[in-house]
Amino acid sequence: MANYFVGDIQGCFEELTLLLKKVDFNPSKDCLWAVGDLVARGPGSLETLRFFKSLSGSAKIVLGNHDLHLMAIHGKLKRANPKDHLGALLAANDIENIIDWLRLQPLYQELPEKNIIMTHAGVPPEWDLATLRQQANLVSHALQSKDYLQDLISQMYGNDIDQFSFALSPLEKQIYCINALTRMRYLTLDGRLNFNCKSPLQDCNHADLQPWFSQTSKLPDNYRVVFGHWAAIMGQTHVANRLALDTGCCWGEYMTLWHLESDQKILQPKLKDVKTS
């Protein structure tokens, strides 16, 4: 059995298909892990979701910010950005089943025998494993409730909740968890989420900001965090146990597939004849 981890797909289904052909991916014996943001920007969001849904136990995904935003769009809480090319997905005859399946997906995944954690954007340095599991599972429980749109999705937008505390209300904790696990990049020196700076590491000129993976973590030292979300750093964290896989395929760069067992990365350049805007 092989474990393959893929960076942000964002509707670039053709590139994903080519990557999986390169490694002869076999869902009967292999497992495909996806760091979230399955949809938006590329032309194949519908095909991507149908593909992962069809893989059943052979796929492990986490929700990204674009996946959560899709729920808001489908629920008529937000309007789709034309640049996200979601028309075919929203008009699909199986869209209700797809959204119901998406709501079952978590904000984090673990491969405990290999000491691997996967989230979309990372793990707050102040969270240990127990806190990560507890807070992410509370969000999953809320997403699976019948009133998820009103009780959570409609409430999750905004930048006000930028630091965690056990004194926060249950809803505030859920919003922070979504902000941290799906939107996090830079943190202030006191651990607050910064939502404004998205620059590559070498271009960030704010002395009070650090990438989340540079701050001391409460996770075990032997744990590796696999994440996406931050295309600007092009997979470079300079931290051995923090593996970034978003390499900007939807922006004209390439998609990255990491083979765990051989510790090798396989790349697929963006198909230049497929337009995303």
Tell me 111's DSSP state.
E
Asked if 109 contacts 117 with a C-beta cutoff of 8 angstroms, the reply is: yes
Q: Is residue 274 part of a domain?
A: no
Q: Is residue 233 part of a domain?
A: yes
Domain residues for the domain of 124 are: 3-269
Q: Between the CA of residue 88 and those of 46, 61, 91, 99, what are the distances in Å?
A: 7, 22, 5, 14
In this predicted model, what pLDDT tens digit does every residue of 64-79 receive, in sequence order?
Answer: 999 999 999 999 999 9
Q: Is residue 277 part of a domain?
A: no
Q: Is residue 241 part of a domain?
A: yes
Six-digit token string for 30 = 């292999």
261-271 in b/e form (b: 16+ CB < 10 A) is: eeeeebbbebe
Six-digit token string for 80 = 């789709």
* 277 — pLDDT class (breaks 50, 70, 90): very low
Q: Is residue 127 part of a domain?
A: yes
Q: Is residue 276 part of a domain?
A: no
pLDDT on residue 68? 98
* 273 — pLDDT class (breaks 50, 70, 90): low
Q: Is residue 160 part of a domain?
A: yes
How many helices (H) and strands (E) in the chain? 8, 12
Q: How many domains does the chain have?
A: 1
pLDDT on residue 45? 98
Q: Is residue 209 part of a domain?
A: yes
**pTM metric for this prediction:** 0.95
- The mean pLDDT value of the chain amounts to 96
CATH number, residue 132: 3.60.21.10
Strand spans (E) along 221-273: 224-227, 242-244, 254-259, 264-269
